[in-house]
Structure 1
Amino acid sequence: MFARGENIIQLMERLAPKHYAVPDDKIGLQVGSVAREIRKVLVTLDVTQAVVEEAKSLGAELIIAHHAVIFRPLAHLRTDTPSGALTANLIKNDIAVYISHTNLDSADGGINDWMADALELNGRDVLEEVHTDQLYKLVVFVPESHHEAVKTALFNAGAGWTGNYSHCSFNIEGTGTFLPREGSDPFIGKQGSLTETKEIRLETIVPLSVRKKAIAAMLKAHPYDEVTYDLYAMDLKGRSFGLGRVGKLSEPETLDEFADRVKKAFDVPFVRIVGDGAKKIRKVAVLGGSGAKYMRHATFAGADVLVTGDIDFHTAQDALAAGMTIVDPGHHAEKIMKPNVAEWLTEQLARQGYKTEVVASAVDTEPFRLR
């Protein structure tokens, strides 16, 4: 059985929810339709004509990319322009394109975490918050016989977390009353008879990001045909998600030694460096893509170095004057997303019994070359 396109998109939005994206980012389905079975998915950083030809040769019906195909508002769709010809090639060959951009940057276990993993950073924090998970208090009334089952289902669905503590709940014994009416299917009691039963009031915390999943798990584990529960918004702050990561190396390195680490981690032929090569580096800020405007965020976070792409001349001058160190591996370092997304999606599809194949693109979309 092959997954339908909608199933694959749901999985991608579990990894990188849309509300994690920065405002006005161009994400989601941009070309084609996913209302069909998908036999093969191609994961790429950019969608170029070479990538489309690769998708055609592989028989991929869906491309998942990081960078948008349609970024600016279209004034026309002319097939005699590069962008128009690219779109026409996709449509002609019935290949859909789905974009996961800053939401994949911000996601827990997304691009910035993969980059931090590659640099072996410990004790990480978010560099720039984009979204804070709203917390809710869930209260449900459960018969004693199913109390543990419902509680476990909620915890397994991601409920019960506060800070670094998991499996948090509060439980009070009491007496529930109800009168099953015509058409009901009571687990306890009989139609037409007022029933009293020992119940437990179970309270726990549910983040917005897992609210639907947690409620579905609770309802499935609960024995009643009509489940009584309440959901309250809380003032308590939930987890923060956002761009970039800040963490520490296990041992200090010189800037030049660290630059070699960056080259190896992101498989790039060179890096551009701002700062004294002998400077000791311990705390590192990393942000995939173009991160020049986050230099101040890195400084405020106490980072010794900012690792990001597309640093311009004047930003480099400002950084040097301010004593801030930068290592620029280029925007294309985000290619780290290709094998990671392909691996994650393959695992998720296999768990659900789908035979859909996911392939990381072998096309190098780096536009620069060295002489």
Structure 2
Amino acid sequence: MANGNQVIQLFEEFAPKHLAVEGDKIGLQIGSLNKEVKRVMVTLDVLESVVDEAIEKEVDLIIAHHPPIFSPLSQVNDRSTAGKITMKCIQHDIAVFVAHTNLDVCVGGVNDWMSEAIGLHDTKVLVPTYEEPVYKLTVFVPETHAEDVSRALGKAGAGHIGDYADCQFRVAGTGQFTPLEGTTPFIGTPNETEQVNEVRIETVVRESQKKRVLRAMKDAHPYEEVAYDLIRDEIEGHVYGLGRIGKLGQALTLEEFAEHVKTSFGVEGVRFVGDSKRLIEKVAVLGGDGNKYVSAAHFKGADAYVTGDLYFHVAHDAMALGLAVVDPGHHVESVMKQGVVDVLAEKFQKAKIDVDLIISEANTNPFQFK
């Protein structure tokens, strides 16, 4: 059992809100997180059948990818689908939390799970949406505690540059200060100027790490008032974005690739656009409705683009560009159910909290094949 806010705090370490595209409907949509949570259910969609399943299985919190409330509700009653869903959840004290484009964009999220499903390697972001700022952190530490502070910074994640971790630079020097009346200095006496052998430690910190790193630094530092600088750096930060582009292990014809996508996602059928005999090696993937990003896939040099909800005229545009497209449907984003459960299970284990995690078994795919 855990508090609902604690559950979401752990989840948002993986898929933070700031990664969502502007205007996306994410976060807590129904109910309260200020309660004890014993069971969490993960689902792609929140339909009435999903809520009924949650009621039957005594679920306290639903984590969904698609928001049940996408447009503002002028009324909450049983005359609309969204109203029914909202009422049932409130009546049975079930909270609904949504992670949409932030779960698409985050590292190891929906688009990475989809890329893994079809066996892409050397993947990169298809459509950049956010570059994480990087800061230079400089802290002054007495020699006696330099190693303690250094280890704390590294353990908190500071100093990551490219494929190198725990990057730091140190310079020895002399620190000077005068503790004022009422202070309790670690070194020195109030109203007397003190000089101390200190070490200047420099490292880099990403935006998402700032609070954690500064807290760890201050906890390890012996001084009552820690002297440090935190300055925005021009180092290129990690780039996040929608979709991925990578390569297959071996080239396939478009016809073979379409069959591979069908099998990989376990769907009954796929639509595809292009010459069935053309060879496919470089592939772009974007979960959900990817019509807006056909040109991006072509610009990045993709032979084929895997996405859902392909429009008729966009298919014509892709043909004109010479880009093959495979549409397995929007519902293949359901790979997120197992993915989120796996992520949370690991985080719950590390945090030593006991919360049941289940995957919704309700079928939310509106399409059938004949």
What band does the TM-score fall into relative to the shorter chain? Answer: over 0.9
Residue 216 of structure 1 aligns to a residue in which SS?
helix
Work out whether 1:88 is the aligned partner of 2:87: yes
Q: Match for 1:368: what amino acid?
A: F
> C-alpha displacement at 1:181, in angstroms?
4.3
Q: Which TM-score applies when normalising by structure 2?
A: 0.96
> C-alpha displacement at 1:245, in angstroms?
0.5
Distance (whole Å) between structure 2 residues aligned to residue 235 and residue 131 of structure 1: 15
Which residue of 2 is the match for residue 344 of structure 1?
A: 343
Work out whether 1:132 is the aligned partner of 2:108: no
Distance (whole Å) between structure 2 residues aligned to residue 217 and residue 200 of structure 1: 17
Distance 1:238 1:182, change over 3 A: same
Residue 135 of structure 2 aligns to a residue in which SS?
strand
31-40 vs 194-203, which deviates more? 194-203
Which residue of 1 is the match for residue 254 of structure 2?
A: 255
Q: Match for 2:221: what amino acid?
A: H
Which residue of 1 is the match for residue 61 of structure 2?
A: 62
Residue 90 of structure 1 aligns to a residue in which SS?
helix
Distance (whole Å) between structure 2 residues aligned to residue 265 and residue 154 of structure 1: 42
Gaps of 5+ in 2: none
Distance (whole Å) between structure 1 residues aligned to residue 258 and residue 189 of structure 2: 73
Q: Match for 1:117: what amino acid?
A: E
Contact between 1:309 and 1:328, CA under 8 Å: does it hold in 2? yes
> C-alpha displacement at 1:235, in angstroms?
2.5
Gaps of 5+ in 1: none
Q: Match for 2:41: what amino acid?
A: L
Q: Please show how residues 99-248 of structure 1 align to structure 2 within 5 Å.
A: 99-181=98-180, 183-191=182-190, 193-248=192-247
> C-alpha displacement at 1:329, in angstroms?
0.9
Number of equivalent positions? 370
Distance (whole Å) between structure 1 residues aligned to residue 259 and residue 141 of structure 2: 58
Work out whether 1:353 is the aligned partner of 2:352: yes
- String of CA shifts for 1:108-129, please: whole Å, max 9, x gaps: 1111111112222222211111
Which residue of 2 is the match for residue 72 of structure 1?
A: 71
> C-alpha displacement at 1:75, in angstroms?
2.3
> C-alpha displacement at 1:258, in angstroms?
1.8
Q: Which TM-score applies when normalising by structure 1?
A: 0.95
Residue 153 of structure 1 aligns to a residue in which SS?
helix
> C-alpha displacement at 1:262, in angstroms?
1.5
Residue 36 of structure 2 aligns to a residue in which SS?
coil
Q: Match for 1:4: what amino acid?
A: N
Sequence identity percentage: 48
Residue 369 of structure 2 aligns to a residue in which SS?
coil
Distance (whole Å) between structure 1 residues aligned to residue 75 and residue 117 of structure 2: 42
Residue 2 of structure 2 aligns to a residue in which SS?
coil
Contact between 2:178 and 2:192, CA under 8 Å: does it hold in 1? yes
Q: Match for 1:125: what amino acid?
A: K
Distance (whole Å) between structure 2 residues aligned to residue 361 and residue 226 of structure 1: 51
Residue 11 of structure 1 aligns to a residue in which SS?
helix
- String of CA shifts for 1:227-285, please: whole Å, max 9, x gaps: 11111112332111010001111221222222222123222121111112221111110
Q: Match for 1:166: what amino acid?
A: A
> C-alpha displacement at 1:50, in angstroms?
1.2
Across the aligned residues of Structure 1 and Structure 2, the Cα RMSD in angstroms comes to: 1.6
Runs of 4+ residues over 6 Å off in structure 1: none
321-330 vs 116-125, which deviates more? 116-125
> C-alpha displacement at 1:151, in angstroms?
2.1
Distance (whole Å) between structure 2 residues aligned to residue 165 and residue 48 of structure 1: 45
Which residue of 2 is the match for residue 279 of structure 1?
A: 278
Q: Match for 1:186: what amino acid?
A: P
Q: Match for 1:32: what amino acid?
A: G
155-164 vs 198-207, which deviates more? 155-164
> C-alpha displacement at 1:77, in angstroms?
1.9
> C-alpha displacement at 1:185, in angstroms?
4.1
Which residue of 1 is the match for residue 289 of structure 2?
A: 290
165-174 vs 61-70, which deviates more? 165-174
> C-alpha displacement at 1:36, in angstroms?
1.0
Which residue of 2 is the match for residue 41 of structure 1?
A: 40
Q: Match for 1:10: what amino acid?
A: Q
209-218 vs 190-199, which deviates more? 190-199
